Every structure is written in C-alpha cells, then in structure tokens.
Amino acid sequence: MRTKTLKKNTINVVTLGCSKNVYDSEVLMGQLNASNKDVVHEEEGNIVVINTCGFIANAKEESVNTILDYVQKKEAGKVDKVFVTGCLSERYKPDLQKEIPNVDAYFGTSELPSLLKALGADYKHELIGERLTTTPKNYAYLKIAEGCDRPCSFCAIPIMRGKHRSKKIEDLVTEAEKLASKGVKELILIAQDLTYYGLDLYKKRNLAVLLEALVKVEGIEWIRLHYAFPTGFPLDVLEVMKREPKVCNYIDIPLQHISDAILKSMRRGTTQAKTTELLKNFRALVPEMTIRTTLIVGYPGETEADFQTLKKWVEDMRFERLGCFTYSHEENTHAYSLEDDVPQEIKQDRANQIMELQSQISWELNQQKIGQSFRCIIDRKEGDYFVGRTEFDSPDVDNEVLVDASKFYLKQGEFVNLKIIEAADFDLYAEPIV
C-alpha cells in the first residue's frame, strides 16, 4: 500500500559537504523558485535532490548512505523520485549508476541545466545572484571562483570541479547587492582557492580589487576570507584588510603540513621557511589578524620525525584557529601511487595530539579575552543561550560567544557589543554592554 506523501510536487534539496555545496544548492533552489517550483531545504518533499560530497572517505560514505536512505524511502513509497548531483556524482557516476540503479538520474557538478530540465524547470541565465539562502539571514557565502589549478597530490577537487574559473567582479558585486537587500550583513568569500582569483580573467591576482568593490556595497558590514592558498599569496589583500573596517581581520589559509619532505611530496610549492615567513608577514602587516588553518596527518611516508616537526611548529605558531584531518587515500590523485603506509590508529592518534595541543593554545588565548569587549553578530538562539560570533570567528568551525538567554534578550542578525566574562577552550561567555 502506498504511503501518502506529506508534500506533493515539492522538491527537497539535501546538502552534504562544504560551504561550496551549500552555495550550489542555494543557486539550484533559486532557479527552481524562479520556475515556480515548490522547493524546500532538508524538509519533507516527494522529489529529492541530494547534493553530494566526494572529497574524502568519510564524506563519500555519508553521501552514499544518504542516497541509500532515500532510495529505500522511494521503494517504500515515501518519496516519488530521487536525483543525485554534486561531487560524488561527478567523480563516480558510472559506479553509482551500476551499484545504486534505483536513483532516477545522476548529474555532475557542471550539469545544472540538465538537472533543472529533469525537475521540469528551465535554466535562467539572467538570474545572477538569485539564490534561496539556507544560512541564518545575517550571513551568506559568496563563491567567487570555481575549480582549482593547483597540483596538490592528495586532492581530488580538480577531478570533480575542473580548472579554476573566476567570476567577474561586476557579477559578484551584483550578487552582493542582492544579498544585502535581503538583510545579509556578512559575506563569506569562498572558492577552492581565493589566492588565484582573477588570474584567468584579468591576468593578475585580483582579490584586493574585488574586496575594494565589495566594501562599497551598502548594508554589508563584514567580509570574511576563506580558503586562501599560501603559495603566491597577494600581499596587497592585507593592505585592504588593514585599511577597510568591513574586511574582517581573519583569514582561512589551509597549510596542510610543514615538514619540507611532506610538503614536497604533497606538491604544495612551498617550504617550512617560506610558510613561516609568510605568516610573519601576516602578523606584521595586520597584527590583529586571526589565522585559521587546517592540517593533514598520516600522509604517505610521514615519519614520527615529520610529525614531531609539525607538532613543534603548531606549538610555536600558536594559531588562533586550527583543524586537523587524517589523510584519506583517494584514487586518481597523484598521492594514490604512494603506499598508504601510516596505520589508521597512528593517523588518528596524531590528529588527536594536534587537537589536544590546539585546545590548550585556544584556551590560553581565550583567557586573555576575559574582561575585553567585542562587537559580535548574533546568529541564533540555541537552548539557553543566544549564540554570536566576533569578527575573528567564522560560522560552524570557530569559537562562539554565548549569552545567557534567561538574563538578556538579543535579536538574531543584529550586531551587539559584548563583554567577555568567562572563557573555555573553544567558547566564550559574555554579557551585553548596556
């Protein structure tokens, strides 16, 4: 007997993976909305579109499990159709079609018009910047480029996303203006590689020029930089950061490792000395800057000496924000030809050691903030707290500022001055300054 669907002819978009996927789902939803389709994000709908991630093993497993879950719902009559798009589908379409044939259709990362057609909608070229945002109303991601030209040995992104393609500055300004008109106050600039922005379109690294244009958008108060590559970093960006109050004193720059032998095998195009010098320049030019980085441990050939070099360097650099991942052996990458010779338990132990060290560093840095005041944006109310962030914190990955909701009332999406009264390793507790 067929189960009655809660919402008929409603398209439910399910997003997995990174902020780039969030952005892509929002563009898809905007296109569907423009074709008068009923569309929801991770709610109930009889037509399901799963935007998958195919980056590393854990993400691929989550994507496959999500597909299988919705296929079971389809077989049980709880949904009518299941479509799959995104990175996993781009990378493994033939395998997926063979292993999970009950999906109605698979689409790659560059097949949005075809996906829309399958959903009974037309791709509208004129919809520059039209998206249905899924983030809290006060911030939104702004994807400034697609793809990547870097040759990093461990990374499958160029396979899934193709070559680097920058968006025009005027189109990005239009998109920012539309977001601001809807109440967005913070833009989080994302790409596979911000550092490379403009080289294809303007024949030079043009991130600083883009920032100069975006700060003029009325209503936007914070602009945050994510995913900058260290090699060839355009230092004129720091001049804009220092000069323009709208550009947050924050940068996410994934460094991956610091042992020269590992950096060379990773094909990162840099050394420990060059990377350390770059970070010293960051600190000298913008002393207030918060630097976020991510590291990979357990890469093929990583010796205990390599790991100790990395650990000592993390201790010395005292990054404000840091994440650590275990190496994932990905087919069709350059590193796949190397022996994945670090046992999983050693990988995990090394990641744990780095994060324990970072937890202590973060705790010490946070203690220094007690008694200080910060301008914060309020993202949401969760449980007994209003949850906000300083300009030094990005959503979902960084510290949060918690305000007791039983004592104070704050409005989501508003800026407020908060005084830090207590600090943990990754959270700050605060009260409004009356």
pLDDT digits (tens, 9 = 90+) for 342-379: 999 999 999 999 999 999 999 999 999 999 999 999 99
**pLDDT band for position 412 (50/70/90)?**
very high
pLDDT at 57: 81
Is pLDDT of 285 > 60?
Answer: yes
Highest-confidence segment of 5-14, 158-167, 286-295: 286-295
Burial code of 30-60, b = ≥16 C-beta within 10 A, e = fewer?
Answer: bbbbbeebebebeeebbbbbbbbbbbbeebb
DSSP reduced 3-state for 330: coil
Q: How far is CA 16 from its chain centroid? A: 11
Mean pLDDT of all residues in 87-107? 92
Is pLDDT of 7 > 70?
Answer: no
Is pLDDT of 18 > 90?
Answer: no
pLDDT at 3: 45
pLDDT at 284: 95
**pLDDT band for position 17 (50/70/90)?**
confident
More confident residue, 122 or 393: 393
3-7, 37-41, 144-148, 343-347: segment of lowest average pLDDT = 3-7
pLDDT at 5: 43
CB 130 within 8 A of CB 244: no
Residue 396: other Cβ atoms inside 10 A: 9
357, HSE (Cβ side, Cα atoms, 13 Å): 20
Mean pLDDT of all residues in 41-55? 90
DSSP reduced 3-state for 57: helix
Percent of the chain with pLDDT over 90: 79
Mean pLDDT of all residues in 76-94? 92
Scan for tokens 């195919």, then name that residue. 54
**pLDDT band for position 155 (50/70/90)?**
confident
pLDDT tens sequence across 113-143? 999 999 988 888 777 767 889 999 999 999 9
202, HSE (Cβ side, Cα atoms, 13 Å): 15
According to DSSP, the β-strands at 186-190 and 165-166 are: unpaired
Q: How far is CA 272 from its chain centroid? A: 25
The two three-digit tokens of residue 201, written as one number: 């379109």
Tell me the helices (H) and strands (E) count for the chain, helix number first: 13, 18
What average pLDDT is seen over the chain? 92
CB 258 within 8 A of CB 272: yes
Is pLDDT of 176 > 70?
Answer: yes
Alpha carbon distances (Å) from 293 to 38, 149, 230 = 39, 20, 11
The two three-digit tokens of residue 207, written as one number: 């991130």
Comparing CA positions, the residue from 91, 86, 88 lying closest to residue 115 is 86
Alpha carbon distances (Å) from 75 to 1, 43, 71, 103, 189 = 11, 19, 6, 10, 40
Q: Quote the CA–CA distance of 284 and 277 in Å, as a whole number.
A: 10
Percent of the chain with pLDDT over 70: 98
Residue/partner pairs of 258-261 with CB below 8 Å, 24 or more apart: 258/309, 258/310, 258/313, 259/302, 259/305, 259/306, 259/307, 259/309, 259/310, 261/301, 261/306
More confident residue, 305 or 396: 305
Q: Quote the CA–CA distance of 220 and 210 in Å, as a whole number.
A: 14
CB 410 within 8 A of CB 378: yes
Which residues, including other chains, have CB under 8 Å from residue 156's CB and lie 6 or more apart?
54, 55, 91, 330, 332, 333
**pLDDT band for position 4 (50/70/90)?**
very low
Is pLDDT of 192 > 80?
Answer: yes
Is pLDDT of 386 > 90?
Answer: yes
Comparing CA positions, the residue from 42, 48, 87, 86 lying closest to residue 68 is 48
Is pLDDT of 1 > 50?
Answer: no
Comparing CA positions, the residue from 346, 321, 257, 252 lying closest to residue 295 is 257
Q: Quote the CA–CA distance of 379 and 253 in Å, as a whole number.
A: 24
